[in-house]
Amino acid sequence: MSEEQKPEDGAEISRRAFLAAAAAAAVTATAAALAPMKDLADLPSLEEFLRKHYTELTPADKAAIIARISEQVEKKYGVKPNLTDPPPLDGVEFGYALNIGRCIGCRKCVFACVDENNQSRNPEIQYIRVLEMKKGSIDVETSNTEYEGEVPKKDSYYMPVQCHQCRKAPCVKACPVKATWQEPDGVVVIDYNWCIGCRYCIAACPYGARRFNWQEPHIPADELNPEMGLLSNRPRPKGVVEKCHFCLHRTRNGKYPACVEVCPTGSRKFGNLLDPNSEISNILQNKRVYVLKEEVGTLPRFYYYFDI
Amino acid sequence: MVQHLKDYSVFVRRCAAETIRGDWRYFLWMTALTGVALLGLNAYCKQFVHGLTITGMSDQVSWGLYIANFTFLVGMAAAAVMLVVPVYIYKDETLHDVVILGELLAVAVIIMCLLFVTVDLGRPDRFWHMIPGIGKFNWPISMLSWDVIVLNVYLALNAHICGYLVYMVYCKRKPAPMWYIPFVFTAIVWAFSIHTVTAFLYVGLGGRPYWNSAIIAPRFLASAFTAGPGFLILTLQIIRRVSKYRIDDKAIMMLRNIVQVSMIINVFLLFCELFKEFYTDSAHVASAKYLFFGLHGHHGLVPWIWTAMALDLVALVLLVLPLSRSLKYLDLACVLAIVGIWIEKGMGLIIPAFVPSPLGEMVEYFPTLNEWIICAGIWAFGMLLYTLFLKMTLPVLTGELTPDSAPSS
Amino acid sequence: MGNSSGSKGIPMWAAGVSVGAFLLLAAVFAMNLLGNAPANDEIPKLSPEYADTATVRKVRKEMTFDGAPCSSCHEGTEPLQGDPREKGVFHEKIEIKHGRNQHCFNCHNRRQPADFSNFDGTPIKLADVQLLCAKCHGTTFRDWNNGAHGRRSGHWDVAKGGPKPATCIACHNPHWPVFKPLKAAPAPHVNPRTRKSARPGAEHGGHE
């Protein structure tokens, strides 16, 4: 019926017949338009879909979720994970300091983080960005993130940037569904199962610290880190935001974040701000300390210092 | 009560029947719109399956064509209500007959806005997280939460007002003031609020100096009140041509006045913005430099913005001259203004704030074919909705469709 | 209901165009003629050396030279004299670039070559080498003690064991203490669709 004969003058079909034919064709076209949906691999289960916000989960809910995610990870990667949900420690507020006089820009922190936190390799997600800055300026616009070769280079200094876990975090203000919030120990966390992927938080962040999963993340199974935290480095789904979380599956168990441990020059310092004897407290009391983009008023927990 | 419901369901049924009556021009128009909408649906299915990687957005430029169109269309929706102000506040009856047409446009456009936001979400299956009471709603701190409320309420307000007034015309009853006057006045205030809230989404972000300027909200409103009534001027002439609904030239001329004044304000505010950026010449001017002159070898947006500037200026000149009292020139001015403002508000406002990134990275944004198709699909769907609304209501407004009229004419 | 087919028919050609358009679209969709996004660029695999937490230098447990303990040559208790670099094959290849500290016995002990020397000649063991460096670098030693200088491993939480500072010579070669340049790990991948890289040849996702 779709052949187009040369119309004679006044050749018509009735409206009804036309509507029937057109409707049938339109329905066919609509069904065909939906064809790509057959490739949909990972529809959430009903319980995953109806899952409550992290802060409203009962211990039983959490146990079920941990079991479910562990099972999914094992199925996908063939590795049995040790997925925990360490609570924040009492009397602890994390702080981080970076010795900007000593950083040589080797980027080992970037890769230790990627290794530790199960970030997607392709598309590439890296929480830490190291900026090669021109001496004499802290204007990030003149910086370069694409340097390679031997470091440090002359006339440059290096400033790595990652999530500053701000006390007045613009991302926490921006999120319409409270998928990101500040925990009592200072870490700004994301509930990966609550995030709707609107990316308003990415627009809000003054430090470019947040990353989005533009597609299903890809981690080679042999590079998966099985030590996982529910709010930190468990593998994330497509379509959600992630960022540095001070390795809270490590730090809430007393360890250093991966970036601190790997830094060859010892430029990274981490500890409890509420402990007056911790290395971070010492630095803040005795060294020349500043924060990035202080005028935006974010009150970060991440400080830059240099030796005197 | 039951009789009322029965009468109303008859009305709805008859209105629906109107949509499948028309001549071949109508059906070809609907075919074209449906076709483009289906293209958009297909492209969106691909995006749903593969993720937003199928767009040109990146971590550095995390909002693109979808939010640009959303911003422009929220303005259009707000401006449709600008027709209401002269009629109900200034009691000027010139625009009385076209108020409903403007409100219907607002309904169609708001639905487009909601669609644009939905296609932009990384996890649209989790949209229920935004429902107050059921999800977790970050109101009043998050400006996006305000936007969700105001847009949906605006949709409901306009749908009610149109639905009620049209039904009253159909029933040949005088509308009871209680059922529409308070809603109309609420809608007037609400129209300003939807676009102000949308502007505040951007203004409140200290980390993006290009947006962190108080003038953004007034600029939004001025450009909205130029593009919206401009679009209506064009639409009303089309309606005049394809239906029996009578629209006086005076109504169109009054709209021209609105567009004229708004365009003058729009261009003035733009000039204020340009002065502040380029005279101060601080480090914060980087985004404006990227937009107008290119930065560090990247100049993807430069041709766009200068085109928009040219279109805006030519439109302004045409509007100000008595020449535009002639519909031919007025239509040209409206088209130029709408395209210019679409570019200036969309690509000229959203994208530059991301370039350079907060860490100084120069990452540009080029929408992919898939993105363009989805945008075209949503626009087509919106026009399809508006056509359907008009097809249902114009016969009522012209008096052709009444409880007593024959079912088929 | 009145006349069921309506008073106006649709011209055949328009009907054909309409129906044909839908069927054409159905074909385009079913055959996926509009395609998907291009595949991801190749990104080189993470090299494990860049996540290695080992210090740049291995710290020895004992003082030896070429594998032999110092006592195998220096048996006596007479204090050593002169500049070891002029004494023959064993020590002349040592290069010192330690600022103004060009004198071997500022650090090394004349009487006990396996140890180092304090200001008053008393020995400092290899295991306590930080006390040696502290002789001149007092402020650095202070910072090393309170954590502002140098690498620490272990735990930030004292209750879990506390931090273990790396000894000075785990990072600094005592004869040439300046930190040697390292090869930087690869730069972040640049998506050629979204930006031209500042580096030539980088569009292909690799590094030189």
Q: What is the value of ipTM here, to two decimals?
A: 0.92
How many whole angstroms separate alpha carbon B341 and alpha carbon B262? 12
Domain assignment of residue C196, yes or no: no
Do B130 and A177 lie within an 8 Å CB cutoff? yes
- CB spacing of B365 vs C6 below 8 angstroms: no
CA–CA dist B229, B255 (Å, integer) = 6
Tokens of C155: 């735990």
Contact C148 A271 (CB under 8 A): no
**Chains touching chain B at 3 or more Cβ pairs under 8 angstroms?**
A, C
Is residue B385 classed as helix, strand or coil in its secondary structure? helix
Examine residue C107 and state whether it is found in any structural domain, yes or no.
Answer: yes
Mutation target to probe the A interface, by most A beta carbons within 10 A, among B31, B57, B138 is B138
Total Cβ atoms within 10 A of residue A174: 25
pLDDT given for residue A29 in this prediction: 93
Alpha carbon C14 to chain centroid, angstroms: 69
First to last CA, chain C: 79
Predicted pLDDT of residue C208: 29
| DSSP track, A20-61 | HHHHHHHHHHHHHHTGGGGG---PPPHHHHTPPPGGG--HHH
CA distances to A262, B99, B129 from A103, in Å: 12, 65, 42
Neighbouring residues of A150: CB distance < 8 A, sequence distance ≥ 6: C181, C182, C183, C184
CATH architecture label of B2-397: Up-down Bundle (1.20)
CA distance B61 to B301: 13
Chain A touching partners, 3 or more CB pairs below 8 A:
B, C
- How far apart (Å, rounded) are the C-alpha atoms in residues B390 and B408? 18
| B21 to A15: CB separation less than 8 angstroms, yes or no | yes
B55: CB partners within 8 A, 6+ apart: A214, B47, B64, B65, B66, B367, B368, B370, B371
CB-count burial class (<10 Å; 0-12, 13-18, 19+) for C193: middle
Task: Give the model's pLDDT for residue A95.
Answer: 97
**Spatial CA neighbour of B277 closest among B291, B297, B298:** B291
Q: What angle do CA A20, A23, A27 make, to 5 degrees?
A: 140
Range of the domain at C125: 53-170
Which is it for strands A302-306 and C10-11: parallel, antiparallel or unpaired? unpaired
Dist CA C105 CA C110 (whole Å):
7
Residue C12, domain member (yes or no): no
By Cβ distance, the residue of A15, A203, A208 closest to B205 is: A203
Domains of chain A: 94-306 (3.30.70.20)
Task: Retrieve residue C143's tokens.
Answer: 């910072």
Confidence of residue A44 (pLDDT cuts 50, 70, 90): confident
pLDDT band at A15 (very low <50, low <70, confident <90, very high): confident
Question: In this structure, is residue C97 part of a structural domain?
Answer: yes
Query: Domains in chain C: how many in total?
Result: 1
pLDDT higher at A45 or B60: B60
Do residues B60 and B298 make contact, with C-beta atoms less than 8 angstroms apart? no
Segments in chain C below pLDDT 70: 1-8, 89, 193-208
How many residues appear in chain B?
409
Lowest mean pLDDT, pick from A220-229, B90-99, C20-29, C92-101: B90-99
Chains that touch C (3 or more CB pairs under 8 A): A, B
In which region does residue A239 sit, left (phi positive, over 0), alpha (psi from -120 to 50) or beta (all else)? left
Cis peptide before A300 (omega within 30 of 0): no
**Eight-class DSSP state of A92:** -
For chain B, what are the domain ranges? 2-397
State how far the alpha carbon of A34 is from the alpha carbons of A202, B38, B51, B123, in Å: 31, 9, 16, 18
Tell me the chain B residues in contact with residue A198 when contact means C-beta distances shorter than 8 Å. 117, 120-122, 144
| Residue C73 forms part of a structural domain | yes
Sign of CA dihedral B2, B8, B11, B16: negative
Kindly state the tokens that stand for A273: 């701000």
pLDDT given for residue C63 in this prediction:
86
Mean pLDDT of chain A: 92
For chain A, strand residue ranges (E) read 12-13, 82-84, 94-99, 129-134, 150-151, 156-161, 180-182, 188-190, 211-212, 227-229, 241-242, 268-272, 288-290, 302-306
CA–CA distances in Å: residue B33 to residues A16, B268, B378, B379:
20, 37, 10, 9
| pLDDT top residue among A19 and B96 | A19
SS (H, E, C) B218-240: HHHHHHHHHHHHHHHHHHHHHHH
Q: Which amino acid is at B59?
A: D
Higher pLDDT pick, A214 / B408: A214
Between B147 and C70, the higher pLDDT residue = B147
A263 DSSP assignment? -
C138-192 residue pLDDT tens: 999 999 999 999 999 999 999 999 999 999 999 999 999 988 899 999 999 887 7
- Residue in A193, A168, C47 with CA at minimum distance from that of residue B141: A168
User: Quick check: is C5 in a domain?
Assistant: no
Determine the pLDDT at residue C207.
31
Asked whether residue C208 is assigned to any structural domain, the reply reads no
Give start and end residues of each alpha helix (H) in A187-256: 200-204, 248-251
> Are A31 and C26 inside 8 Å of each other by CB?
yes
Instruction: Give the pLDDT score at C70.
Output: 85
**Which of B34, B54, B362 faces C195 most closely, judged by CB atoms?**
B362
Interchain contact, A263 vs C159, CB within 8 Å: no
Please state, in angstroms and rounded to a whole number, the distance separating the CA atoms of residues B312 and B320: 12
Residue to substitute from B27, B371, B372, B409, interface C, most C β-carbons within 10 A: B27
Q: For residue C208, how many other CB atoms are within 10 A of its CB? A: 9
Closest C-alpha to B74, from B226, B181, B194: B194
Residue A223 Cα, gap to closest chain B Cα (Å): 23
- Per-residue model confidence (pLDDT) at position C199: 42
pLDDT tens for each residue of A97-141 = 999 999 999 999 999 999 999 999 988 999 999 999 998 888 898
Helix, strand or coil for residue A14?
coil
- Do residues B243 and A208 touch, judged by C-beta distance below 8 A? no
Residue reference for tokens 């000229």: B348
In a domain? residue C95: yes
Token pair 């296609």 is found at B119
């951007």: which residue's tokens? B202
Q: A165: alpha, beta or left, given left = phi > 0 and alpha = psi -120 to 50?
A: left
Q: Are B88 and B188 in contact (CB under 8 A)?
A: yes
Strands A188-190 and A227-229: unpaired
Average pLDDT over residues B367-382: 95
Size of interface B-C (CB pairs under 8 A): 72
d(CA B76, CA B195): 9
Q: Per the CB < 8 Å rule, is A206 touching B356?
A: no
Question: Which residues of chain B are within 8 Å of residue A237 when distances are taken between CB atoms?
Answer: 123
* Residue A163: strand, helix, or coil: coil
Per the structure block, which two tokens stand in for C98? 């330690």
**Bridge partners, residue A159, by sequence:** A131
The two structure tokens encoding residue B271: 């000039």
Instruction: Report the 10 Å Cβ neighbour count for A145.
Output: 20
Residue A109 host element (H or E): helix A108-116
